[in-house]
């Protein structure tokens, strides 16, 4: 996004990977399946993103901070001074500071998952466990004090292909989500304001991620994917999404 000619990224606060799910799983016993799943994710990320990262100039003005430090008063004050037109959060710690009030209506959260059906952590993993691939996607929402509960701006579903893996689906979705986010930023003032999310869904946390759920996610994966592709139009109706551009 920072390389787009019509967007100026004045700062990116990037959290340390310390304390992320890979670190936590590596410290636990009986972690073979989870470790393999997370290692495969890293390999897939290299395939999808390494070339771009190596060959593209970083225009994002990165500021590196420890995990959770986005809520420290010193970082809050830096953001207040910058006074951006929009703030985008993606994959970071839960925002608990006055930024929620100061930038209300100008603070977008990119949630990998189709909210509210799947909220919390790993929300594009759990649909493979539950065999609900229609719920794999991205939600762009106004951020609030809850966990993925803000008013929805726009949603997209993942493109799923024959012979895909969980990680290829997820990384392709990240690429597509970047393009969608650019569209949202450029059209933000014109987009229709949506009501706050009132649909019901499931909330997942890191503690729910265990060996059994990984086993279930990969069980008959090709069959799950083929079934979804063949019945996509019918299955998608069970998980309606919001399209801001229709």
Instruction: Tell me which residue range forms the domain holding 53.
Output: 12-236
With CA atoms as reference, report the closest residue to 218 among 66, 34, 49: 34
Q: Establish if 4 belongs to a structural domain.
A: no
Q: Establish if 207 belongs to a structural domain.
A: yes
The pLDDT of 74-93, averaged and rounded, is 94
Please write down the HEC assignment for all residues of the chain: CCCCCCCCCCCEEEECCCCCHHHHHHCCCCCHHHHHHHHHHHHHHHHHHHHHHHHCCCCCCEEEECCCHHHCHHHHHHHHHHCCCCEEEECCCCCCCCHHHHCCCCEEEEEECCCCCEEECCCCCHHHHHCCHHHCEEEEEECCCCCCCCCEEEEEECCCCCCCCHHHHHHHHHHHHHHHHHHHHHHHHHCCCCCCCCCCCEEECHHHCCHHHHHHHHCCHHHHHHHHHHCHHHHHCCCCCCCCCC
Q: Establish if 223 belongs to a structural domain.
A: yes
170-195 tens-digit pLDDT: 999 999 999 999 999 999 988 876 66
> What pLDDT does residue 196 have?
61
62-78 tens-digit pLDDT: 999 998 899 999 999 99
> What pLDDT does residue 106 have?
93
Q: Establish if 2 belongs to a structural domain.
A: no
CATH number at residue 28: 3.40.50.170
pTM above 0.85, yes or no: yes
Bridge-partner residues for 154, per DSSP? 140
Q: Establish if 188 belongs to a structural domain.
A: yes
**Number of domains making up the chain:** 1
Phi-psi region of 16 (alpha: psi -120 to 50; beta: other; left: phi over 0): beta
Q: Establish if 82 belongs to a structural domain.
A: yes
Q: Establish if 6 belongs to a structural domain.
A: no
218-238 tens-digit pLDDT: 999 999 999 999 999 999 999
Measured in degrees and rounded to the nearest 5, phi and psi for residue 142 equal -70, 135
């Amino acid at each position: 996004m920072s390389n787009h000619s019509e967007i100026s990224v004045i700062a990116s606060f990037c959290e340390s990977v310390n304390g992320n799910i890979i670190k936590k799983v590596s410290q636990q016993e009986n972690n073979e399946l989870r470790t393999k799943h997370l290692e495969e994710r890293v390999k897939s990320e290299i395939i999808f993103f390494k070339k771009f990262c190596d060959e593209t100039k970083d225009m994002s003005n990165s500021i590196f901070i420890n995990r959770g430090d986005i809520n420290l008063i010193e970082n809050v004050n830096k953001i207040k001074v910058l006074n951006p037109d929009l703030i985008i959060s993606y994959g970071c710690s839960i925002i608990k500071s006055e930024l929620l009030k100061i930038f209300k209506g100008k603070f977008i959260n990119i949630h990998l998952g189709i909210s509210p059906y799947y909220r919390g952590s790993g929300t594009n993993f759990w649909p493979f466990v539950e065999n609900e691939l229609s719920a794999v996607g991205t939600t762009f929402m106004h951020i609030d004090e809850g966990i993925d509960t803000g008013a929805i701006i726009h949603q997209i579903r993942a493109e799923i292909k024959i012979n895909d893996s969980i990680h290829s689906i997820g990384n392709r979705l990240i690429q597509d989500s970047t393009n969608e986010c650019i569209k949202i930023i450029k059209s933000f003032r014109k987009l229709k304001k949506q009501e706050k999310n009132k649909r019901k869904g499931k909330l997942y946390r890191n503690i729910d991620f265990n060996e059994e759920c990984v086993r279930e996610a990969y069980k008959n994966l090709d069959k799950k994917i083929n079934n979804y592709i063949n019945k996509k139009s019918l299955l998608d109706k069970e998980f309606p999404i919001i399209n801001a551009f229709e």
